[in-house]
């Protein structure tokens, strides 16, 4: 039995993707035209197909006034469940319910009103089945079946006669054939008639076709490879005295049986039966699709689910009282009533010989069940019954509404949550931010989270994994095939721990005070000061056919307060062994456990664009002081032969000393002489600015004073620079002593 969402799949009118999703409109028009013109089908004949334009929607195609018209069936999600509709004001839970409604209620528009009448069946659905062979002779079919020594092996082939097929099969160790004739839109086997060849095969897969043999193993070239034998079984051919004979299939049974209900069932449609447990249903007509027809309680030949009943002998009509369920009433339970869907009506005049009677009347429709009359022994007992039923109804409605509100608020399906350990996807950006990052980190201490790229994107780009690692997510998935900065940092992270595939989280993440987005929470960690000098490179890869003009970009990637980037000048026309003057690049890293040092080699082309050449990325926690030859890699983190950088790395753990910060002296601080060189190409529009900061206990910079001058006014010599506040008002006695050396023109041998 199909569930409600898939019930339409077994219907005659559902054609799926016509033309495998291409030219479906034209195919639908052809099918409808041929069917209606050949059979004289009335207006309203219809079929439903999957929409080619709108994924998840369907198209209703119908016949009206001698031509085919089409109508889109919309779908949308409500509380996690799909809904279907033609107009916004009338929505259905399933596609099956929508079609059933418009078979009973007319479609209305400005031009016409019309009910859906006759479904157009699929005509050539068999051509895509594994058991069908359009170009196979009888001898070829026999050769295939001789290699499968199993009763129930079968195939269907097109015969040379017009509108004729044959089923070739094995039964009782012999190969046999039976004819199938197509008559109009139906196919006929003996005296049995079916809507299509697919329906015929589906029926005989469940019922014997020849004596006791059911169709079990569809045969084609692929299944021959799996279950076929190398040597054919020539003894399985039919008797030689009557070659090529066709056998007669079993007659379809026409008798009707009696069944007993194992469970209670309430009708969902007007053409269905409602019955209680242990009810007897007679004159049962067993139909396909898991639904049978029968008579019960005066209602004739209505549908009911076959898995709710068991077949019994026609003489056994008394219910079996020995069968009990897990119920306080045991075998006394004969059914149940949904009191929330009923209205209580007190019979003040009584009924029959009983004076105190009330009735439960279904509110929705008569098909919900019959009116139930209940008698009490006194007026007080009747009032007590009515009061209790109303209390239960109100309580159940409140619980139901509370459950719906919770599902809507938390976006969780309660039924699914009761069945499984519920996981639901959500956007990582909601939690990996300054507002919720600390809470997400605490969540990840006890539970797992997996972050991955959204599947609906059109490209394979990656997101920055660093914030996810900082917030403690254990499984951060990236697109491995994409050569970009996130994948390069991922490769660098897992250099740790011997490339074993996992890395232990730093101990700071287990501190209650740690906030991945707040630098002030790092009181237990000393910062690291990195001083990098790029001295030279060798064997840099080419980008195209020209000569490389390389520059090196040095970047620290980590928490948002540690991110920094600096670069060298470009070296003209030298990719073999470029060198750079010694120039220190200093970085302060407050959270080295989650920081990476990244070298990127670019070339400057004739349009001053930067083109990527190579890169090298390392966790800062692995760095040591000294001269280093840095092997370069391509964008996929694959090593480039002989390509490397020569750098000097100076790692200072803890806060900086006197070289930059003068501790506890604002009266007359002094610094060692250290030149700072700047090249200014357009001095007419350039300014020299001195800013004095203080470093507090949290390593934050707080503004104290500043002085700003146009560079065109500067002259060489020692200068006392008067300091000003942020409003450019002079601060009394506050000044800097500096030496300024102004050289106009290009530098000489000192650098070049």
Question: Tokens 């206990």 correspond to what residue?
Answer: 697
Q: What is the pLDDT of residues 243-258, one digit of tens each?
A: 445 666 666 555 568 8
Residue 749 banded pLDDT, cuts 50, 70, 90: very low
**Is the same domain home to 567 and 664?**
no
Classify residue 392: in a domain, yes or no.
no
Q: Which two tokens stand for residue 341?
A: 């869907």
C-alpha–C-alpha distance, residues 292 and 9, integer Å: 18
C-alpha–C-alpha distance, residues 172 and 210, integer Å: 10
Question: Tokens 């920081």 correspond to what residue?
Answer: 595
Beta-carbon contacts of 37 under 8 Å, excluding residues fewer than 6 positions away, are none
C-alpha–C-alpha distance, residues 24 and 22, integer Å: 5
569 contacts 580 by C-beta, under 8 angstroms: yes
C-alpha–C-alpha distance, residues 98 and 72, integer Å: 12
C-alpha–C-alpha distance, residues 24 and 31, integer Å: 10
C-alpha–C-alpha distance, residues 468 and 450, integer Å: 10
**Is the same domain home to 151 and 209?**
yes
C-alpha–C-alpha distance, residues 148 and 153, integer Å: 7
Q: Which of 281, 297, 332 is the last residue of a domain?
A: 332
Classify residue 47: in a domain, yes or no.
yes
Classify residue 190: in a domain, yes or no.
yes
Residue 238 banded pLDDT, cuts 50, 70, 90: low
C-alpha–C-alpha distance, residues 44 and 25, integer Å: 17
In the predicted model, what is the mean pLDDT of residues 645-650?
93
In the predicted model, what is the mean pLDDT of residues 683-688?
92
Q: Which two tokens stand for residue 747?
A: 């530098």
C-alpha–C-alpha distance, residues 214 and 206, integer Å: 7
**Is the same domain home to 532 and 450?**
no
Q: Which two tokens stand for residue 495?
A: 């250099």
Q: Is 253 exposed, middle or buried (0-12, 13-18, 19+ CB in 10 A)?
A: exposed
Q: Looking at residue 745, which CATH number applies to its domain?
A: 2.60.40.150
416 has a pLDDT exceeding 80 = no
751 has a pLDDT exceeding 50 = no
Q: Which of 236, 265, 300 is the last residue of a domain?
A: 236
**Is the same domain home to 751 and 737?**
yes
CA atoms within 13 A on the CB side of 604: 14
Classify residue 719: in a domain, yes or no.
yes
391 has a pLDDT exceeding 80 = yes
**pTM of the shown model:** 0.39
Q: Which of 54-58, 416-420, 494-498, 730-734 has the highest mean pLDDT?
A: 730-734
Helices (H), 125-230: 138-146, 197-204, 221-227
C-alpha–C-alpha distance, residues 752 and 749, integer Å: 5
Radius of gyration of the CA atoms of the chain, in A: 42
Give the residues across from 639 on adjacent strands.
Answer: 633
Classify residue 439: in a domain, yes or no.
yes
370 has a pLDDT exceeding 90 = no
Q: What is the pLDDT of residues 341-360, one digit of tens each?
A: 788 888 888 877 788 888 88
Q: Give strand ranges (E) for 89-185.
A: 90-92, 107-108, 113-114, 132-133, 153-158, 164-171, 174-183
32 contacts 62 by C-beta, under 8 angstroms: yes
The CA-to-CA distance between both ends of the chain, in Å, stands at: 85
**Is the same domain home to 578 and 459?**
no
pLDDT at residue 319 in the model: 45
Q: Which of 548-552, 630-634, 651-655, 674-678 has the lowest mean pLDDT?
A: 651-655
In the predicted model, what is the mean pLDDT of residues 391-407?
81
Tell me 134's DSSP state: S
**Is the same domain home to 632 and 536?**
yes
Beta-carbon contacts of 368 under 8 Å, excluding residues fewer than 6 positions away, are 266, 267, 274, 338, 341, 362
SS3 443: helix
330 has a pLDDT exceeding 80 = no
% the chain with pLDDT above 90: 29
Q: Is the dihedral of CA 506, 512, 515, 518 positive or negative?
A: negative
pLDDT at residue 141 in the model: 93
Per the structure, the count of domains in the chain is 6
Q: Is the dihedral of CA 337, 340, 342, 344 positive or negative?
A: positive
* Average pLDDT of the chain to the nearest whole number: 83
615 contacts 641 by C-beta, under 8 angstroms: no
Question: Tokens 């299944």 correspond to what residue?
Answer: 223
**Is the same domain home to 76 and 107?**
yes
Classify residue 671: in a domain, yes or no.
yes
For 234-265, give the DSSP string: GGGSPPTTSTT--PPPPPPP---EEEEESS-B
Q: Is the dihedral of CA 34, 39, 42, 45 positive or negative?
A: negative
Q: Which two tokens stand for residue 137?
A: 């002779």
C-alpha–C-alpha distance, residues 272 and 62, integer Å: 26
**Is the same domain home to 703 and 749?**
yes
Give the residues across from 174 on adjacent strands.
Answer: 171
Q: Is the dihedral of CA 348, 351, 355, 357 positive or negative?
A: negative
Beta-carbon contacts of 51 under 8 Å, excluding residues fewer than 6 positions away, are 57, 58, 59, 72, 73
pLDDT at residue 17 in the model: 77
Residue 365 banded pLDDT, cuts 50, 70, 90: low
99 contacts 115 by C-beta, under 8 angstroms: no
Give the residues across from 646 on adjacent strands.
Answer: 536, 629
Residue 30 banded pLDDT, cuts 50, 70, 90: confident
**Is the same domain home to 599 and 623?**
yes
Per the structure, the complete domain to which residue 305 belongs is given by 257-332
Q: Which of 332, 364, 383 is the last residue of a domain?
A: 332
Please, which contacts does 134-142 make with residues 24 or more away whose CB atoms are closer than 8 Å?
134/158, 138/166, 138/168, 138/177, 138/244, 141/166, 141/168, 141/177, 142/168, 142/175, 142/237
Helices (H), 75-126: 95-104
Q: Which two tokens stand for residue 293?
A: 């027809």
Give the residues across from 155 on adjacent strands.
Answer: 168
Q: Looking at residue 54, which CATH number applies to its domain?
A: 3.30.505.10
**Is the same domain home to 143 and 93?**
no
Classify residue 205: in a domain, yes or no.
yes
Classify residue 600: in a domain, yes or no.
yes
CA atoms within 13 A on the CB side of 175: 26
**Is the same domain home to 550 and 623?**
yes
C-alpha–C-alpha distance, residues 75 and 85, integer Å: 7
**Is the same domain home to 102 and 177?**
no
Q: What is the pLDDT of residues 126-167, one digit of tens each?
A: 887 889 998 999 999 999 999 999 999 999 999 989 889 999
3-state secondary structure 647-673: EEEEEEECCCCCCCCCCCCCCCCCCCC
Q: Is 435 exposed, middle or buried (0-12, 13-18, 19+ CB in 10 A)?
A: exposed
């Amino acid at each position: 039995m199909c569930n409600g969402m898939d019930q339409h799949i077994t219907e005659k009118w559902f054609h799926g993707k016509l033309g495998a999703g291409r030219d479906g409109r034209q195919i639908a028009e052809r099918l409808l035209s041929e069917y209606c013109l050949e059979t004289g089908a009335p207006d309203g004949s219809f079929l439903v197909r999957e929409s080619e334009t709108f994924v998840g929607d369907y198209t209703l195609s119908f016949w009206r006034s001698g031509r085919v018209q089409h109508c889109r069936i919309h779908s949308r999600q409500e509380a996690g469940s799909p809904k279907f509709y033609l107009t916004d004001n009338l929505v259905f839970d399933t596609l099956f319910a929508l079609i059933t409604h418009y078979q009973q209620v007319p479609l209305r528009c400005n031009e016409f009103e019309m009910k859906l009448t006759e479904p157009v069946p699929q005509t050539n659905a068999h051509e895509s089945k594994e058991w069908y062979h359009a170009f196979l002779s009888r001898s070829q079919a026999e050769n295939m079946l001789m290699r499968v020594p199993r009763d129930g092996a079968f195939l269907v082939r097109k015969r040379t006669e017009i509108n004729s097929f044959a089923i070739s099969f094995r039964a009782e160790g012999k190969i046999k054939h039976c004819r199938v004739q197509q008559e109009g839109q139906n196919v006929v086997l003996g005296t049995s008639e079916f809507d299509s060849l697919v329906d015929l095969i589906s029926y005989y897969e469940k019922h014997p076709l020849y004596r006791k043999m059911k169709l079990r193993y569809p045969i084609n070239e692929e299944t021959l490879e799996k279950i076929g034998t190398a040597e054919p079984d020539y003894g399985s051919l039919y008797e030689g005295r009557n070659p090529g004979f066709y056998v007669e299939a079993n007659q379809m049974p026409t008798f009707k049986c009696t069944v007993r209900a194992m469970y209670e069932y309430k009708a969902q449609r007007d053409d269905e039966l409602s019955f209680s447990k242990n009810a007897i249903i007679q004159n049962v007509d067993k139909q396909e699709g898991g639904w049978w027809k029968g008579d019960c309680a005066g209602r004739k030949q209505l549908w009911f689910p076959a898995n709710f009943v068991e077949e019994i002998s026609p003489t056994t009509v008394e219910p079996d009282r020995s069968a009990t369920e897990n119920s306080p009433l045991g075998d006394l339970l004969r059914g149940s009533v949904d009191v929330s869907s009923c209205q209580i009506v007190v019979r003040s005049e009584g009924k029959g010989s009983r004076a105190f009677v009330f009735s439960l009347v279904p509110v929705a429709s008569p098909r919900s069940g019959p009116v139930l009359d209940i008698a009490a022994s006194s007026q007080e007992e009747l009032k007590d019954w009515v009061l209790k039923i109303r209390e239960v109804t109100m309580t159940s409605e409140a619980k139901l509404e509370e459950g719906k509100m919770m599902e809507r608020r938390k976006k969780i399906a309660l039924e699914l949550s009761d069945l499984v350990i519920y996981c639901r996807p959500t956007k990582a950006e909601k939690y990996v931010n300054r507002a919720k990052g600390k809470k997400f980190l605490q969540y990840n201490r006890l539970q797992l989270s997996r972050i991955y790229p959204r599947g609906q994107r059109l490209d394979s780009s990656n997101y920055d994994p660093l914030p996810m690692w900082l917030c403690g997510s254990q499984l951060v998935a990236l697109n491995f095939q994409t050569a970009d900065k996130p994948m390069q940092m991922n490769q660098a992270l897992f250099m740790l721990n011997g490339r074993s595939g996992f890395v232990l989280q730093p101990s700071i993440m287990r501190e209650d005070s740690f906030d991945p987005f707040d630098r002030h929470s790092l009181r237990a960690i000393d910062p690291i000061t990195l001083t990098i000098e790029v001295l030279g490179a060798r064997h840099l890869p080419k980008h195209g056919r020209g000569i490389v003009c390389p520059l090196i970009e040095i970047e620290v990637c980590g928490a948002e307060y540690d991110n920094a980037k600096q670069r060298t000048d470009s070296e003209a026309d030298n990719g073999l062994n470029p060198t750079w003057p010694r120039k220190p690049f200093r970085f302060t890293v407050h959270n080295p456990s989650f920081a990476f040092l990244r070298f990127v080699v670019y070339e400057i082309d004739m349009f001053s664009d930067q083109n990527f050449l190579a890169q090298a990325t390392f966790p800062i926690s692995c760095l040591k002081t000294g001269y280093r030859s840095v092997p370069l890699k391509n964008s996929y983190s694959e090593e480039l032969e002989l390509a490397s950088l020569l750098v000097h790395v100076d790692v200072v753990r803890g806060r900086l000393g006197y070289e930059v910060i003068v501790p506890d002296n604002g009266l007359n601080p002094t610094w060692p002489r250290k030149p700072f060189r700047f090249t200014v190409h357009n001095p007419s529009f350039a300014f020299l600015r001195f800013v004095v900061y203080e470093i507090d206990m949290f390593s934050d910079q707080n503004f104290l004073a500043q002085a700003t001058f146009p560079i065109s006014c500067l002259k060489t010599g020692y200068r006392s620079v008067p300091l000003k506040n942020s409003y450019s008002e002079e601060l009394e006695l506050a000044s800097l002593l500096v030496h300024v050396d102004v050289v106009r023109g290009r530098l000489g041998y000192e650098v070049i």
